[in-house]
Structure 1
Amino acid sequence: MKKNILVLFGGCSPEYPISLKSAYAVLTHINADKYNVLAMGITKDGQWLRYNGDYENILADTWHQNRRQCTPAFLSPDRSVHGIGELTEKGLSFTYVDAVFPVLHGKNGEDGSVQGLAEMAGVPIIGCGALSSALCMDKYRAHQIVSLAGIQVPKAAFFDRKPTAEMLYEETKSLSYPLFVKPLRAGSSFGISKITEKAQLADAVDLAFRYDSEIIVEENIEGFEVGCAVLGNDELILGRVDEIELSHGFFDYKEKYTQRTAKIHMPARIDADTEERIRKAAAKIYRALDCSGFARVDMFLTPSGEIVFNEVNTIPGCTDCSRYPSMLQGVGLDYAAIVEKLISLEI
């Protein structure tokens, strides 16, 4: 009997458009001969809809417009349901789900909220669980844990409330410019500023607090950013390491998804020994933050060869041309094989 796989997409997040692209790629690469695929979208305003139409409409963001192809639905926290409820013309119906595959980026999807709901429901979730998702989304607390695991992290100042000017300058006086000012739990570089002088600090802090109630101010790390795809639970598959080449600025939301001035080198332009050190560091970080299923670990490589932790994306971009599948393709896994491996880890 085929297993039922529920793919969640969309979401109340600024990263909603990217979720649609990632979900389209996942949905079109799941083996439909082996699994029954259930698609459930979350609109920008938070409505959950079971979707029964063409996947092309997800990519075009018209999926929610034809209500004949959508029914109000929810992931039931009732473990006796072990799946979803739908409000149809005939009333409330339920469908058993063997696993949930959340393809939701950023807040309200990658931060442990949906993962916690699935865990309450008793439904296996493909990817990191609630604790790991919440930790990895929290830049300050993730850095504290990774530091304890022996991996270097950027020097930083943490603020759990908006500081006075005096407090702001006092807490950051030991940091060397340029600095990055970041919301603690915003995804895809939203609300992040790179500043080069003290006069810019207050405005950057104000911007970051628009996106979160806690922020972090970090020193810039000389060198360049590298990433490593990790797949697995007990036994890990590590992808090739990639490298982000920037002509200016930093890898913000626009650069991540347009790459107008940035270039991704896969594999990275580094020697084999350095790549192996980065891959081992990625695995250590993945374990330290209790990751499971899959994640992309982002780090910096300094001119002296030091590895410095940046962040973990527990639901990295999953489009055909995203960094995560590209790195795993470097070790021989095509997209369909990646999806199959992820599902097989949970059911």
Structure 2
Amino acid sequence: MSKALPAPRHADPAVFGRVAVLLGGTSSEREVSLDSGRNVLEALRARGVDAHPVDGIPALVQALVERRFDRVFNILHGQRGGGEDGVVQGLMDALGVPYTGSGVLGSALAMDKIRTKQVWLSLGLPTPRYVHLARGVDAATVHEAARGLGLPVIVKPSCEGSSVGVSRVLDDAGLDTAVELAARYPGELLMEQMVVGDELTVGILGDTALPSIRIVPKGWYDYHAKYQAEDTQYLCPGLEPAAEAELGALALAAFRAAGCSGWGRVDAMRDASSGRFLLLEVNTAPGMTSHSLVPKAAGKLGIGFGELCWRILEQTLDVADAADAEGATA
């Protein structure tokens, strides 16, 4: 699978019109989104794009009803006030405004880790064994589930990102605390077999899997390691050529199976004992901070941050062209 990317199709920033950079919001990932949004806004403006910040969905509704923008660069993270669960995508579809990233189906499905796993498993795509835990689950059921999977396990909310509410549970004594933490966030809970091995991620840009990144944190790759620590190592490409091609193909298959499009990131593990790749989740609006992984991977192909933002925004022109063609033939 070639990693070569064609040159950007447009050079004139005027083709984008007036662009809303949707950031902030009210989800648990607000601060990350604000950081990402500031970076995207600065990069687009540096390339001459008429881009403006819009903080959260209510502000976007007002702006789009007033027809103040031609398209949206969505860099909201999370659900319930975030921009990754399909709600804001449905809004923009209803108003006929092109936007970056996945549509309603891909956004909603990928935000729900349990349903994403169900789709992957139905297609024979590999993912760690798991148990779905309903909200309010009793302690006996939790401990029985852990015994069935075999400790250690990961306990997390099914519909959060950025490692929010996630716990590694090494022994029976830590289960109740882990479930209590995960239950602070909306949605169902997920208990997953903990895979020991390399943590990997693959950025997706259009139909291309970017070079993988192997993440080597000092300890566990939690929220601090993702966004604050300076000692986390990012090895890119993260694998030898044959395994790199295998993981890239698997990541693209997983991305498409979840109904995703445009750009995003697929996280996976490589089991140390078997060498097998196991899919963890899809992120449909990855971070664009100084610590974020898609920009690092794109950089390996010679695509700087500004060009990456431009390429992502260019995808909204494809969406608009397709909509115009459909309307012409209706």
| Fold shared per TM-score above 0.5 | yes
In structure 1, give the amino acid aligned to 2:76. L
- Residues 257-292 of structure 1 show CA distances to partners (whole Å, capped at 9, x for unaligned) of 123553222221x21111111111111111101111
Distance 1:200 1:336 in 2: 44
Q: Is the 8 A contact 2:226 2:291 kept in 1?
A: no
Alignment of 1:259-338 (within 5 A): 259=229, 262-268=232-238, 270-303=239-272, 304-338=274-308
Q: Is the 8 A contact 2:134 2:189 kept in 1?
A: yes
Question: Please, which of 232, 247, 250 is the counterpart of residue 218 of structure 2?
Answer: 247
Where does residue 84 of structure 1 map in the other structure?
64
- Residues 28-63 of structure 1 show CA distances to partners (whole Å, capped at 9, x for unaligned) of 111566532232123xxx8x5xxxxxxxxxxxxxxx
Where does residue 61 of structure 2 map in the other structure?
75
Aligned length, in residue pairs: 300
Provide closer, same or farther for how the CA distance between residues 157 and 33 of structure 1 changes in structure 2, counting only shifts above 3 A: closer
Is residue 2:76 matched to residue 1:98? no
Q: Which runs of 5+ in 2 are unaligned?
A: 1-13, 318-330
Greater relative contact order structure (CA < 8 Å, 6+ sep): 2
Deviation of residue 163 (structure 1)?
A: 1.5
Q: Is the 8 A contact 1:243 1:265 kept in 2?
A: yes
Deviation of residue 320 (structure 1)?
A: 4.3
Alignment of 1:183-222 (within 5 A): 183-222=157-196
Q: Is the 8 A contact 1:152 1:308 kept in 2?
A: yes
Q: Which has the larger radius of gyration?
A: 1
Where does residue 69 of structure 1 map in the other structure?
none
In structure 1, give the amino acid aligned to 2:315. L
In structure 1, give the amino acid aligned to 2:70. D
Where does residue 7 of structure 1 map in the other structure?
21
Where does residue 39 of structure 2 map in the other structure?
25
Distance 1:161 1:106 in 2: 19
Where does residue 129 of structure 1 map in the other structure?
103
Distance 1:331 1:247 in 2: 27
In structure 2, give the amino acid aligned to 1:84. L
In structure 2, give the amino acid aligned to 1:335. F
In structure 1, give the amino acid aligned to 2:114. Y
Greater strand content: 1
Q: Is the 8 A contact 1:110 1:133 kept in 2?
A: yes
In structure 1, give the amino acid aligned to 2:285. I
Identity %: 33
In structure 2, give the amino acid aligned to 1:301. R
Q: Is the 8 A contact 2:47 2:306 kept in 1?
A: no
What SS class does the counterpart of residue 14 from structure 1 fall into?
coil
Q: Which runs of 5+ in 1 are unaligned?
A: 49-72, 77-82, 86-93
Distance 1:13 1:31 in 2: 26
In structure 1, give the amino acid aligned to 2:28. P
Where does residue 91 of structure 2 map in the other structure?
117
Deviation of residue 196 (structure 1)?
A: 1.1
What SS class does the counterpart of residue 280 from structure 1 fall into?
helix
Q: Is the 8 A contact 1:274 1:305 kept in 2?
A: no
TM-score, L = length of structure 2:
0.85
Provide closer, same or farther for how the CA distance between residues 158 and 266 of structure 1 changes in structure 2, counting only shifts above 3 A: same
Deviation of residue 152 (structure 1)?
A: 1.1
What SS class does the counterpart of residue 243 from structure 2 fall into?
helix
Distance 1:302 1:129 in 2: 32
Greater helix content: 2
Q: Is the 8 A contact 1:320 1:335 kept in 2?
A: no
Provide closer, same or farther for how the CA distance between residues 320 and 169 of structure 1 changes in structure 2, counting only shifts above 3 A: closer
Provide closer, same or farther for how the CA distance between residues 271 and 95 of structure 1 changes in structure 2, counting only shifts above 3 A: same
Deviation of residue 97 (structure 1)?
A: 2.5
In structure 2, give the amino acid aligned to 1:302. D
Q: Is the 8 A contact 2:227 2:291 kept in 1?
A: no
- Residues 61-86 of structure 1 show CA distances to partners (whole Å, capped at 9, x for unaligned) of xxxxxxxxxxxx4425xxxxxx625x
Deviation of residue 241 (structure 1)?
A: 0.7
Distance 2:151 2:131 in 1: 13
Provide closer, same or farther for how the CA distance between residues 213 and 246 of structure 1 changes in structure 2, counting only shifts above 3 A: same
Is residue 2:136 matched to residue 1:165? no
Where does residue 37 of structure 1 map in the other structure?
51
Give the superposed CA RMSD: 1.9
